[in-house]
Amino acid sequence: MAVATEIQVRDKLYIGGEWVDPSGSETLDVVNSTTEEVIGRIPQSTPQDVDKAVAAARQAFESWSQTSLKDRADCMRQISGALAARSEEIGALVSQELGMPLKLSVQIQAGLPTMTFGSMPQLLEHVVWEQEVGNSQIVREPVGVVGAITPWNYPLHQIALKVAPAIAVGCTVVLKPSEVAPLNAFVLAEIIDEVGLPAGVFNLVTGTGPVVGEAIASHAGIDMVSFTGSTRAGKRVSELAAQSVKPVALELGGKSANVILDDADLQAAVTDGMAKCYLNSGQTCSALTRMLVPRAKLEEAERIAAAVAEQTKVGDPFEEDTRLGPLVSDVQRERVRGYIQKGIDEGAKLVAGGAEAPDGLDRGYFVRPTVFSDVKNGMTIAQEEIFGPVLSIIPYDDEEDAIRIANDSVYGLAGGVWSGDEERAKRVARRIRTGQIEINGGVFNPLAPFGGYKQSGHGREAGSFALEEFLQVKSMQL
Ligand code: NDP
C-alpha cells in the first residue's frame, strides 16, 4: 500500500451541498503519529461557519424529513458502497493519523462505517413509525437538525454511528470531527457529495472543540447534540446545550473491568483480556483496562500478561508484523507516560513495560506495552482513563469482592466476565453496572446497542437503538 507523501490540504468546508471557503483564514495541521511529520491541513472554522452550516441544515430538514424511506435507504446503500470502494485509502489515512496497524485499520476504521451505513436500510424497516393507543395515533418523527461532535480514536466509525442513523431517519446534520484525525471526514463528505444527497442534509465544519464544538452545542438552531469524547468535554457540552434545552446523547470514557473468576481458563482469559486492553494502542473507550483475578492466581496471571506484553511487537503501523502502533499525539504519549510513572510512584508492581520510550523507536509517539500488578483499585491508574497500552491487574478475595471492585468506578461503559460456567458468568455480568459486557471473550457485535452507565454517558448508539436516539414521539388524539 502506497502512502501519500504530499500534504493533504483541505481548505474548504462542506456546507449546503457545496465546498465553500471558511470565513476565517486560520488552519490546523494534521500530524502523522509515526513520523511526526505534517500530513494534512484543515480549516479552523469560526462560529460564523457554524451559523451557515446550521442554516443550510435547517433549510434541508423541511424536505429531507419528508422523503420516502426507500429514497433514504437507497442513499445509505450508495454511501456504504462508496465507502467500501475507498476502504484501503480510508484505512491507510487513519493509520497515518492515529497509528493503528494498517490491516486492522482497513477492517475496523473503514469496515465498521461501511457496515453502519449498509445496515440502515434493514434497520429502517423495523422502526415502529406509527402505532395506536386508545384514541391516539402515535407517530415517530425525526428530531431535527443534529449537531455531531466526534473524537479521534475511531474517527470515521464514530462519525458513521451518528451521521448514518440521523440522516436515515430524516434528520439533517452538522458534523465537527476531531481536529486530530479529521482527514477521513473529508472523504465521507466527498462520498456524500458524489452520491448526491440533497444540499444541506450533511454539513462538515472543522476546527477545535472550544470554538466549533461549543458553537454547535450552544446553537439555538440545533435541535439535538450527539457527542462522543471525554467525560470532561461531555459535561461542558451538556451545560451549553441546557441553555436551549436540547437533548444531548453522550458517549464518554471508561475504566472497564475484566473479571476472571476462579473457574476460568486463565491463559485464555488473560491473553484475550490483554488484546482487549491494547487494541488501538489502548485508545479505545471500552478497553478492558482493569483485570480482576483471584488473589491465589495473581502470580500466574502476572506471568502470562508479562509474556504477552513482551511478545507484542511495537512499531510502524505499515509493517506487517506490527501489533501496536504509536499513540495519536505527543500530548497523548506524555499523558500516558505520566500515568505509568504515577503507577510506579503509587506503589503498583510493574511487571512489563515502563515510562521510557520503547527501544529503537525514538521517532513517533510510541509507548511500551505496560502491565502493572497488585494494583489497588483506589490507585490513580485504576480509577482514571489512561487511553494507552497500560493494564492494571487487581487481585480480589471472592466473587462479591470482584463485583464490588468492578463497580467501584465513576465509569460504567464496558466489562468482561470469564468463567467455566456461562450461567455463573452471566449472573455476575448482570450485577456489573455497565452498558455492555462480554462473557468469555464474546466478540464485538456492531449491531448491539453501545453506550454507558454512570459517567460513561447516556443514550445508545449502533443498531436499531441508534435510530431511536434521533426520533421524537408525537401523539395525535383522534
Ligand atoms: P475530547 O473530549 O477531547 O474530544 C472529543 C470531541 O469533542 C473532539 O471533536 C473535540 O474537539 C471536542 N471538544 C473538546 N472540547 C470541547 C468543548 N469544550 N465543547 C465542545 N466540543 C469539544 O476527547 P478525545 O478526542 O481526546 O477522545 C478521547 C475520549 O473519547 C476518551 O475519553 C474516550 O473514552 C472517549 N470515547 C468514548 C467513546 C464511547 O463511545 N463511549 C468512544 C470513543 C472515545 P477537538 O477536535 O478540539 O479535540
Return d(Cα 387, Cα 281) in angstroms, integer.
8
Could you tell me the distance, in angstroms and rounded to a whole number, from the CA of residue 233 to the centre of ligand 1? 6
Return d(Cα 379, Cα 392) in angstroms, integer.
10
Catalytic residue among 97, 179, 214, 251: 251
Kindly provide the b/e burial profile for residues 129-152, where b requires at least 16 CB atoms within 10 angstroms of the residue's own CB: eeeeeeeeeeebebbbbbbbbbbb
Is 368 within 8 Å of 327 (Cβ atoms)? no
The answer to whether the CB of 237 is under 6 A from ligand 1 is yes
Catalytic residue among 75, 171, 277, 285: 285
Q: What is the pLDDT of residue 1?
A: 46
> Which of 280, 47, 336, 11 is closest to 152 using CA atoms?
280
- Of all atoms in ligand 1, which is nearest to the CA of residue 161? 40
Determine the angle formed by the axes of helices 111-125 and 69-85, rounding to 10 degrees.
160
Q: What is the pLDDT of residue 241?
A: 97
In a 13 Å sphere around the CA of 53, the CA atoms on its Cβ side amount to 35
First to last CA, the chain: 62
- How far CA 186 is from CA of 2, 8, 204, 265, in Å, comes to 20, 11, 8, 45
Helix H or strand E encompassing 404: helix 399-407
Return d(Cα 221, Cα 356) in angstroms, integer.
48
Return d(Cα 199, Cα 351) in angstroms, integer.
56
Q: Is 88 exposed, middle or buried (0-12, 13-18, 19+ CB in 10 A)?
A: middle
- Ligand 1 test: best mutation among 281, 285, 329, 387, most atoms within 8 Å of CB? 285
- How far CA 116 is from CA of 71, 123, 322, in Å, comes to 17, 10, 27
The answer to whether the CB of 178 is under 6 A from ligand 1 is yes
Return d(Cα 363, Cα 124) in angstroms, integer.
47
Q: What is the pLDDT of residue 3?
A: 57
In degrees rounded to 5, what are phi and psi of residue 119?
Answer: -80, -15
CA 327 to chain centre: 15
Could you tell me the distance, in angstroms and rounded to a whole number, from the CA of residue 187 to the centre of ligand 1? 20
Helix H or strand E encompassing 370: strand 370-373
Rg (C-alpha) for the chain, rounded Å, is 23
Whole-prediction pTM value?
A: 0.96
- How far CA 82 is from CA of 90, 107, 114, 211, 465, in Å, comes to 11, 15, 8, 32, 25
Could you tell me the distance, in angstroms and rounded to a whole number, from the CA of residue 228 to the centre of ligand 1? 6
Q: What is the pLDDT of residue 263?
A: 98
Q: Mean pLDDT in each 10-residue stretch from start to end of the chain (478 residues)?
A: 73 98 96 96 97 98 97 98 97 95 96 98 96 97 98 97 98 97 97 97 98 98 97 96 96 97 98 97 97 98 97 95 95 97 98 94 94 98 97 98 98 98 98 98 95 96 95 97
Is 13 within 8 Å of 22 (Cβ atoms)? yes
Q: Is 126 exposed, middle or buried (0-12, 13-18, 19+ CB in 10 A)?
A: exposed
Q: What is the pLDDT of residue 4?
A: 57
Q: What is the pLDDT of residue 6?
A: 82
Could you tell me the distance, in angstroms and rounded to a whole number, from the CA of residue 360 to the centre of ligand 1? 31
260: which strand partners?
418
- Does residue 285 carry a catalytic annotation? yes
41: which strand partners?
9, 29
| Ordered alpha helix ranges (H), 35-132 | 47-64, 69-85, 87-98, 102-105, 111-125
In a 13 Å sphere around the CA of 344, the CA atoms on its Cβ side amount to 14
